[in-house]
Copies of this chain bind each other. A is one copy, B any other.
């Protein structure tokens, strides 16, 4: 499966749902995996059929993840081909294993995948989470930092945050401080004409009560409109506003 147009750009660890109880949750988890361009879903001894109509409906269009999911009897079978296994858990454990944040896990998986090491992430059943016997297969515990007063996540939300950390690390989207799909920024001649028009009408209207304050007042007005980063269309709109206002 190629889940994005930029093959190989995103990480593809297996996401292993251990004894999931509800088919709906498996479906919602599939949707969350698809959101994060992950396609290797594995199920260990699920309580319900992951291809039932409730699961497919809950996947909201991500049913290809469900159709490609592999079902195993035991965690040992599900992780057999993996070289590094991470186990998500909200509880602190008396285990002598590294405990990573979501971001730490993502960086570690990226580093390992770049060396060709196949990774996977375990998620526990909805009600109880992973058992200690499941954690025995994990090299690293993953504990996503959240409000200590309320850190429990449902299965799909745990899958989403884990997947998001992975996606996020490979994503290169930048903030766009101003998006101008339709029109170009106005040039200085256009904005100067606008300010001249405004000044002329304000002058006529008696806005500048004292001549010595006029330069400062005009500068303030100019700065307001400069901050707005006007387009040519904005300038035309404002000419219309000034014309119509000054008519009244």
Contacts and interface: CB of A to CB of B under 8 A. Distances in A.
Contacts of A35: 146-147, 150-153, 157
Interface string A25-42: 000100110111100000
Given A3-B149, A154-B60, A160-B157, A94 B37 contact: no
A62 B150 contact: yes
A181 interface: yes
Interface in A172-213: 173-183
B176 A99 contact: yes
A76 B160 CA distance: 32
Given A5-B148, A35-B146, A177 B98 contact: yes
A interface majority secondary structure? loop
A46 interface: no
Contact of A179 (B5, B99, B157, B160): B99
A181 B94 contact: yes
A161 interface: yes
Contact of A60 (B149, B152, B178): B152
A21 interface: no
A100 B160 contact: no
A168 B147 contact: no
Contacts of A147: 3-4, 10, 34-37, 167
A235 interface: no
B150 A104 contact: no
B179 A95 contact: yes
A151 B179 CA distance: 20
A97 interface: yes
A164 interface: yes
Interface of A: 3-5, 10, 28, 31-32, 34-37, 60-62, 92, 94-101, 103-104, 141, 143, 145-154, 156-157, 160-161, 164, 167-168, 171, 173-183, 231, 234
22 contacts: A3-B149, A3-B150, A4-B147, A4-B148, A10-B147, A34-B149, A36-B146, A37-B146, A60-B154, A96-B181, A98-B177, A98-B179, A99-B175, A100-B176, A101-B173, A101-B175, A104-B175, A141-B179, A145-B167, A145-B171, A161-B164, A164-B164
